[in-house]
Every structure is written in structure tokens, then in C-alpha cells.
Structure 1
């Protein structure tokens, strides 16, 4: 409590030193703006920000394949209403909320998949990073053939080491029994060379193309350019625009790492085994969570924060590929978490643009600054954790005692700051809308673009 009071007094002192903008200056600026450029309205500000946030949280996300077994003779209410609604509530809405509240995690997920796709693409002749992404996102799914369907080995040379088969004769695909998604290690390279689609065929499955991605990037870049122009002309940004600017910055990197990943693919490639074939897969080496619920809860916070949760998942037990699946990265885990955590700290730092803004109330003023500090601190802790992870991974015989102490401190700080970070994200979103009730007159000024164009 004493620390909070001390921080609050510092903030109040900073606010009093800055002082409010004199009314005469505001009136003069508004008058000059009325003569040169039209005013922008509150509706314009809200629409521009919400449309950009929507592009950065809903359109920009490239989900894994969420496989759903098909059913025979579905009623029209189930087909057109219940199933789409269930899909939205259980899969798409949680992804949207993750991108809205923890966008840095979406970026780290994209980086992990980018690195893993690059590793996989080098193991199969003729494969590209698009093939690697398709493999990671659950592009191949194991099915059982019905007992009465005859089959032959998919590759005669591997008939003794591989159980994959090709069905023969009349075969209804709705009668296939889905088993589980497949990892790269589950399928021999020779089999992948036969069954894998070409890059053009994979992109044909995508619900997005280069033009769509360029439109999203242009819209995002245009918003960023407007914010830069307002700063160059000393025009204030609203808190909602500052929040949107932070989303736009991360969105550029998310699109960069997911550029080759197909978007919104719904149906995987089917690989078959007979009823008698073994169901063993390479995912049996998954680790197990601690039995104690408190220890398990702390473990999940740590490993989900750094992106190592896939080490605890067995794909053989999954109906579909997990929502944030990237595969087991091993020594690449630290590198995959380093960059996103640094950008995550930058995401929080962008909110500091409104550090000295005029807030309608002192409570909003203090909460905004505390939230900014929290959003910078949590990714910074992850950065330190990943740095120690990288250094410790490369050392034989384990990490030294000093590094172990640093890792332990980081673990404690991660657990303590995880909830505070989420609260801070929600607080900045709420404050960005509540402050719209009392904006300074200069916030409605439009940018005078002629000042940026050389002319006589």
C-alpha cells in the first residue's frame, strides 16, 4: 500500500508539473483547424479504431485445423445453426479473446510455428515452409478403415515398417473412423512424398490469399501512418488510438511470420490404417503434469507463458490438433520465446504514448500508468527466463547455481505477475473507452497532409 501511495504521489507531481493546456492555445488551434481542415467526429475515431482492432484480432489470426467428424443425416437446425454456433463459442471466440487480451501470445505462437515449419520443410525433398505449416496445423489426420473394406499398403517398400494403407473398391468416407491428428515423426518421409499436396493445392485450401493479406496490411499501415502524422503535427492521440496503435504494431509481425501459413483450413488430408494396425504414434513421449492441483496450476502458467505446453500433450489422445499446437521445439524454445517477449514489452511501451495525456479523472490516470508498467514488466520477465533457458540449454552438465537462482526468481515473478498482466490489459481497454467522454478539442483536429507534400 505504501508503494502504491508513493507511485500515486509521483504521478500526481508529474501531472501538476506538466499542467493543463491553456484554453487560449486550444481555442486558437481549433480555430485554425476550422479554417484549414474539417473536424473529425467521435464516431470517426471509434470506427477507425474498432475496424483496425478487428483486423488485428479476428482476421489476422491463422488458426490450426479444428477437425470435426461428419455425421450422417443431420437435421437442418444442427447443420446450419447449432454446429456453427458451437464452433464459434468453443473455438473461434476463445481465439478472438486471446488475441484481444494477450496479443503477444498470438505472436509467440506464430513465431514458434514459423521456426518449426522451417525445420520440417528441410526434412522432405521439395517441401516449402507452407508444407511445414500445413503439417504443424494438423494437415494430416489418422483414420481407421471399416472392417469390411479391403486395402493395400500405401508404399510396398515400407509395408513392413509402415501400417498406412490405401482403401480399395467402393468406400463411403463417412464410415471412416477418425483417430487422431498426426505429427511429422508419425509419417515416413517416403509416405509424405506420396500423399502430401503441392504448395499450390495447400494454398487452394486457404480462405485467404495474397490480396486479402495485403489489404489488411495496407489498412494497418494507414492507421499507423495517421498516428505518426498526428504526432509530427503535435496533435494528441486518444487512448483508444494508442491501444489500437499497439495492436497494429504487433499485427505487422504476426502477418510476417504467418505469411506462408494457410488460413481457416477445415479439412485435413486423410491417412488410413486398418483395424488390426497398431495405434502407436510418436507422441507417446509426452510429459505428465503434476498431480497436485496447485503445482499443476503453477506449471501451466510457466510453460504456457514460454510456449512449452506442447511437451505435455499426447496427440494420440486428441480428437483434433490442440488450439495453440506448434510441436516440440526442444532447443529452439528459448529462441522462439525471446523475440516475441521483447516485442511484447514494446507492445506495452506503446501505451506509454498516453503517459502524459489529460485523463478525465485521477483514478484513470493512475490505473493507466500502473497498467503500462505491468504490461512491460511481464514480457520482460519472460525475456529474462528465455535468455537463461538458452544459456542453460547449451551448457553441459546443467546450468550453474547463479543461473538456477535467476530462473527460480523468474518463475516466482511469472506466477505473481500473470494475473496482474491480464487485469492491466482489461483496464487499458476499459479506460480507452471511458476517456472518450471528455476529449480535448485538439483531439478532433484532422491532420493537415499538405504540410508533408513538397509544393510551392
Structure 2
């Protein structure tokens, strides 16, 4: 049986002079669910999920089958990731932020020596918003239909590139999609022609600064309410504790994705002739192990660490992968993962607010505490691995070798305990809702905001 905490006595409740009102279970659930929805659906800025425009579709395919297929195979899957592993979404946002910064810095002059003279060749000055747009699959290669009149785009070196501009009339539905393009796949001269302005990029997104500010205000207001309840010794329900953890992570997700266009559906088309070939710039992608056990362990580890993109050949993909961040440099992977891992451990630590709460059964109490330990431990293990990864590229030495042994042990523990983290997340969500069936009277009291107003 739940009971009113000892710090809240009847005389304390009666002394509020009617300023404290009662809130219902439905109002608690609505406030928490709306905030969780903002943190797991609205806050996520997905990559462009390219889909081929099909012609002559029947009405049920266009209005029923295609939207449902897109929802269940992409949007719902991304929502479940954000719901069950929100710190992974934060790590993804950090990786994209780092990679977008790398692309934006490539606007510095490039000095090209030609015998006894040199040229200063400048990449168009890009903002971080441009970098995000490239990473999310903003440029897509298409082949023109056969016999379509076109002109090759000349380069400053007086050579002709394989990219073209169509000059004749043709049906755009006959264009053949090939693959998304990386920043390195587009020559400097081509970028000068196809790069949109930052205003045009923001216009493509389905969210502006005002919308993002409203979401942040909503989550910050929820955090303030939780802090005020603790200051007045009013208990938080388990569902509010879970929502508070989401709100904390959501703030950082929005900070790193602030410049990323949201819900862009159509990339910019870049053309080549129907007979032209395309080879992806940079080194070839790595291959997964042929042994199924090593393959699965490798996939689990590299996806957790965020280095799975090195195994993806983008020129063979129809669309950028869901969590594509580009082939981020190995030296940047460790530092990019330390912060999200620490915040992930803080996400689990927030659940410990309900460590001493009165649960309806000892089983729920036991599951909640075990889940809290798992949600703190697993991100800490990832943080140790990231520290070793970063230190190994900065100052290799005997101390780093010692840390390497610890990191290898952590890798084994990570592979064994990853499933426990997912189970803990599911358990806390289930218990948070089932605990609403029996709440202490003090949990239904609202905050007396008048006590925070300075008065004489």
C-alpha cells in the first residue's frame, strides 16, 4: 500500500489555504505523454528517406498502402528507437553535428599549384546547415533518359565533368535514380551551381526556429514543474520521473540538431548521362565478418559506438541509412561518444529519484531498481570505451595500453549486457504506467506557485 510521505503531514496540506488544488490521473498522464511525444517524435530530425515516385498508382496504393508502409517501416521504427534508446539518438545527433562542422569548414581556400603559378580555388562558403543537408542525403544522383539533350558542366581546369545539365524537353518521371551523393562526390565547380542558400534549405524543412522554441519551452516548463514539486516536498509519480529523463535529453538533442532541416522529403537532383558511370569517392567500405557470430557481435558493437557507416557503400544504396552520419574520422568517434554516454548515464540516474518510492508490489520495486542500475551501468561502459578510443589516438603509451585492457573487458561486458539495458527501458515504461492505478494523495496535489512569489 502506498502512503503519504512522512515529510507531508495533514497540517501541511491544510495550511495551503485552498491554494493547492487536486489534479487527476488523466491530467498527469496527458502532461507526461505529450512531453514524451515531443521528445521522441517531434524532436527527432530524420535523414531523407528517398522514395521513388511511382506512376499510375491506384487510389488505395497512393493514399493507403504507401503512407502505411512508410509509417511502419521508417517513422515508427525511428520512434521506437527514440523511445527505448533515447541516448543513441543524442549520440547520432552529436556525430552529425561534428561531421556537419567538418563539411562547413571546407570553405577555406584551396591552393592548387600549376607549374610556376598557382590558383586559389575556393569551395562555396557553407554553413553547418549545409553540412547537415549533405549528410542527411540532400543530393541524389539521377541518370537522364537515353537520348536526352544535355550539356556537360565544365570545370575550372578546362576539363568537362561527368555531371550534366539537361537542355531538351523530357519527362522527369523517366529520370533514373542512382544513389545519394557524399560531399566528396561533387566537384567544387558543381557545388557552386547546385548548392542552395541557407534560407532555401530552411524553407525545405518542416520546422522553424519558433516551432523548435515552443518544443523547448514545453520541455523546460515540465522540468521546472518537477523541480517545484520536489522543493515543496510533493512526490513525483514514476511516469513523471521517466518523462523528466526524456525532457533532459531532449534539450541536448535540440541543441545539436538546431541547424538541421527537419522532415525534408525530396533531395536536390544532380544529373549524369544514362551511359555515365559513378564511383564513390574515398576508400572502399569495410566488410563484415563472414562468421555469423562475429558478424552479429561486430554489428552490435559498431552500431553502439556509431561507426557502422564505415561498412556502408553509399553508391550501392537507394537512400541514406536511417542513422547515417557519414564516415566520421576514427579520431573523432571517441570524443563524440563520451558526452552522449555520460548524459545517457544521467538519464538512467534520473530514474533513481523514484528509488525509495512506495510501489504497489515488491516485484515492481525490484525491477525498477535493477533497471536503474542497468541504465546507468551500460552507458558508463560505453563512456569508458570512448575514452580509451579517444586516448588511443591522442597519446598512445603504456597507460593507454592498461586502459586498453579495461576497454576490452568493457567491450565483452557491453555485448553481454546490451539486452539488459533494453529490458530495463521497457520495464520502467511499463511500471510507470501501471503505478498510476494507486497513487498517494500527495501525488495528486498541484504546486502552490504563490510560495515562490517574493512578498513582504
Q: Give yes or no for TM over 0.5.
A: yes
Q: Is the CA contact (8 Å cut-off) linking 1:33 and 1:39 kept in structure 2?
A: no
Specify the alignment match of 1:292 in structure 2: 291
Q: Is the CA contact (8 Å cut-off) linking 1:146 and 1:275 kept in structure 2?
A: yes
Q: Is the CA contact (8 Å cut-off) linking 1:40 and 1:446 kept in structure 2?
A: yes
Specify the alignment match of 2:117 in structure 1: none
2:69 is the counterpart of 1:86: yes
Greater helix percent: which structure?
A: 1
Structure 2 CA distance for aligned equivalents of residues 243 and 169 of structure 1: 58
Structure 1 CA distance for aligned equivalents of residues 261 and 99 of structure 2: 15
Deviation of the 1:172 alpha carbon: 1.4
Do the aligned partners of residues 93 and 400 (structure 1) sit closer, same or farther apart at CA in structure 2, a change above 3 Å counting? same
Specify the alignment match of 1:273 in structure 2: 272
Alignment match of 1:74 (pick from 45, 52, 57):
57
Alignment match of 1:101 (pick from 84, 87, 93):
84
Structure 1 CA distance for aligned equivalents of residues 8 and 313 of structure 2: 64
Alignment map for 1:398-413 (pairs within 5 Å): 401-413=401-413
Structure 1 residue runs of 5 or longer lacking an equivalent are 1-18
Structure 1 CA distance for aligned equivalents of residues 38 and 308 of structure 2: 27
Structure 2 CA distance for aligned equivalents of residues 51 and 276 of structure 1: 52
Write the deviation string for residues 289-331 of structure 1: whole angstroms up to 9, x where unpaired: 1111111110011111111010111101110011000011111
Deviation of the 1:171 alpha carbon: 2.2
Structure 2 residue runs of 5 or longer lacking an equivalent are 108-123
Do the aligned partners of residues 424 and 278 (structure 1) sit closer, same or farther apart at CA in structure 2, a change above 3 Å counting? same
Write the deviation string for residues 153-187 of structure 1: whole angstroms up to 9, x where unpaired: 12343674631111111021111000000111111
Q: Is the CA contact (8 Å cut-off) linking 1:131 and 1:199 kept in structure 2?
A: yes
Deviation of the 1:452 alpha carbon: 0.5
Bigger mean CA deviation after superposition, 123-132 or 224-233: 123-132
Deviation of the 1:399 alpha carbon: 8.9
Write the deviation string for residues 256-283 of structure 1: whole angstroms up to 9, x where unpaired: 0000000000000011111222221126
Specify the alignment match of 1:7 in structure 2: none
TM-score by length of 2: 0.92
Specify the alignment match of 2:134 in structure 1: 135
Specify the alignment match of 2:346 in structure 1: 346
What SS does structure 1 have at the residue aligned with 2:269? Answer: strand
Deviation of the 1:427 alpha carbon: 0.4
Specify the alignment match of 1:389 in structure 2: 389
Do the aligned partners of residues 77 and 283 (structure 1) sit closer, same or farther apart at CA in structure 2, a change above 3 Å counting? farther
2:48 is the counterpart of 1:65: yes
Specify the alignment match of 2:442 in structure 1: 442
Do the aligned partners of residues 269 and 158 (structure 1) sit closer, same or farther apart at CA in structure 2, a change above 3 Å counting? farther
Deviation of the 1:35 alpha carbon: 2.6
What SS does structure 2 have at the residue aligned with 1:154? Answer: strand
The RMSD of aligned alpha carbons is 1.9
Structure 2 CA distance for aligned equivalents of residues 22 and 72 of structure 1: 65
Q: Is the CA contact (8 Å cut-off) linking 1:183 and 1:283 kept in structure 2?
A: no
Structure 1 CA distance for aligned equivalents of residues 54 and 160 of structure 2: 33
Deviation of the 1:213 alpha carbon: 0.6
Deviation of the 1:28 alpha carbon: 3.8
Deviation of the 1:222 alpha carbon: 0.7
Write the deviation string for residues 329-357 of structure 1: whole angstroms up to 9, x where unpaired: 11111111111001001100110111111
Q: Is the CA contact (8 Å cut-off) linking 2:153 and 2:160 kept in structure 1?
A: no
Structure 2 CA distance for aligned equivalents of residues 72 and 26 of structure 1: 69
Specify the alignment match of 2:152 in structure 1: 153
2:46 is the counterpart of 1:47: no
Specify the alignment match of 2:213 in structure 1: 214
Alignment map for 1:1-400 (pairs within 5 Å): 21=4, 26-32=9-15, 35-124=18-107, 125-157=124-156, 160=159, 162-282=161-281, 285-330=284-329, 331-395=331-395
